[in-house]
Amino acid sequence: MSTVIAIDGPAGSGKSTLARALAERLGYDVLDTGAMYRALTVECLRRGVDVTSNEDVSRLARSIVVTTLPEVSVDGHSVGHLLRTPEVNVAVSSVAALPGAREAMVAAQRAQAAASTRGLVAEGRDLTTVVFPDATLKIFLTASLDERARRRGDESRDSVARRDHLDSTRAASPLTQAPDARVLDTTGRSVADLVEEVVEWLANTTSH
């Protein structure tokens, strides 16, 4: 497998923005794992699948193909415009907490990484601890709750705090900081500044 930069962090910490900027700077592929869970949630809601049923959601997750490049799609059909609807915002944490759903999505994420020949920047909530424990560089993003709620725009401060609680206390692959992950606080910092810091970390990591 080629170089993998794995980025974890809570909602609104800047994972997607940093991942895209890093991928562009380095010429890497980017993997938005949160978008994959949102795409699965979209499909659950479309088909009327109970988002709290591990058996039903797992069966669906194993039967569909979720991709993020060049756009977020389910079985080849674009769902990007549906990822941040209020209904999906409410249901996605329930879907992402299901062990069977995570098993199916983790397998898909690892397959995409294995297929990458350019290097990969992957972002989500369990990448450094579960999906890519041997990543070349592990990063845990943080930011203040107020800052994260402002960035989300489509979610209130209370909604973001609720997501934090659900993500960090779920039984299956909870959001947690890997012991060997570098912590990066994005509050008040420019994307360009963050990219430069991570590129320097990567250079130091790969030179050893």
Which parts of the chain register pLDDT below 70? 1, 208
Q: Pull the structure tokens for residue 68.
A: 């993020």
Question: Cβ-count burial of 65 within 10 angstroms (0-12 exposed, 13-18 middle, 19+ buried)?
Answer: exposed
pLDDT given at position 165? 79
Contact 42, 82 (CB under 8 A): yes
Q: Is 40 helix (H, G, I), strand (E, B) or coil?
A: helix
Q: How far is it, in rounded angstroms, from Cα 92 to Cα 38?
A: 6
Supply the pLDDT for residue 207. 72
Within the chain, residue ranges assigned H as helices are: 15-26, 33-47, 54-63, 86-96, 99-115, 145-152, 157-169, 191-206
Sequence-distant (6+) residues with CB within 8 A of 198 are 5, 18, 22, 137, 139, 184
The reported pLDDT for the residue numbered 1 is 58
How far from each other are the two terminal CA atoms of the chain, in whole angstroms? Answer: 18
Q: What is the pLDDT of residue 48?
A: 98
Query: Which domains, ranges and CATH numbers included, belong to the chain?
Result: 4-206 (3.40.50.300)
